[in-house]
């Protein structure tokens, strides 16, 4: 491909004998001097238009999340099938729990965040709220509404501390 900067150098045609006051050479003048006849002004040339360039087609995946989701769905299906196959022969619940902990650890080491809500913890917080005297219906609504936020803000807090925080937040929200 012929580049404009290569065409218009001081030693280029039109610059050699130029005197003060003479017009500057135009691109057409330089193209005539260099005998470049097959180029057309105004056309944008790409590497595909001119040999000896080799162009490899590149594909851009605009939705990598979709591809990732499909891959994870396939893996999930395989895990469920495997669990069902050994359901009567082994402690599948224990093995899956152990495997999930290992997976979470590997994801963390790889720098991939994986936040999960342990439903048992959610139920324990609900039971603690009811034990402390909250109305069961109100406690369930409060847990559904506030548990995720409290768990994210207070990751290392115990279930009793989370119950206390949810109780305090719901009382403040009710007082507004």
Reported as a single tens digit per residue, the pLDDT across 71-86 is: 888 988 898 898 888 8
Of 155, 125, 152, the C-alpha closest to 141 is: 125
Euclidean distance between CA atoms 83 and 2, whole angstroms: 64
Quote the pTM value.
0.36
* Per-domain boundaries in the chain: 1-54, 64-109, 119-175
Q: Which residue has the higher pLDDT, 122 or 48?
A: 122
pLDDT at 58 over 80: no
Of 113, 137, 117, 114, the C-alpha closest to 126 is: 137
Q: Are 4 and 27 in contact (CB under 8 A)?
A: yes
Reported as a single tens digit per residue, the pLDDT across 117-146 is: 566 788 889 888 988 888 889 888 999 899
- In order, the DSSP letters of 9-44 are STTSTTTTT--TTPPPPPHHHHHHHTT--S--TTPP
Confidence of residue 12 (pLDDT cuts 50, 70, 90): low
Euclidean distance between CA atoms 152 and 166, whole angstroms: 13
């Amino acid at each position: 491909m012929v580049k404009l900067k290569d065409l218009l150098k001081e030693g280029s045609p039109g610059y050699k004998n130029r005197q003060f006051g003479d017009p500057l050479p135009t691109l057409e003048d330089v193209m005539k001097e260099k005998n470049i006849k097959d180029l057309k002004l105004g056309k944008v040339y790409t590497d595909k238009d001119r040999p000896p360039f080799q162009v490899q087609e590149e594909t851009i995946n605009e939705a990598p999340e979709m591809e990732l989701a499909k891959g994870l769905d396939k893996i999930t299906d395989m895990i469920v099938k495997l669990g069902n196959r050994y359901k009567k022969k082994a402690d599948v619940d224990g093995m899956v729990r152990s495997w999930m902990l290992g997976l979470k650890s590997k994801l963390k080491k790889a720098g991939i965040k994986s936040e999960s809500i342990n439903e048992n913890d959610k139920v324990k917080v609900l039971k603690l709220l009811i034990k402390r005297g909250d109305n069961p219906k109100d406690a369930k609504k409060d847990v559904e509404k506030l548990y995720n936020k409290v768990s994210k803000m207070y990751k290392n807090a115990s279930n009793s501390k989370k119950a206390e925080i949810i109780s305090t937040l719901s009382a403040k929200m009710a007082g507004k």
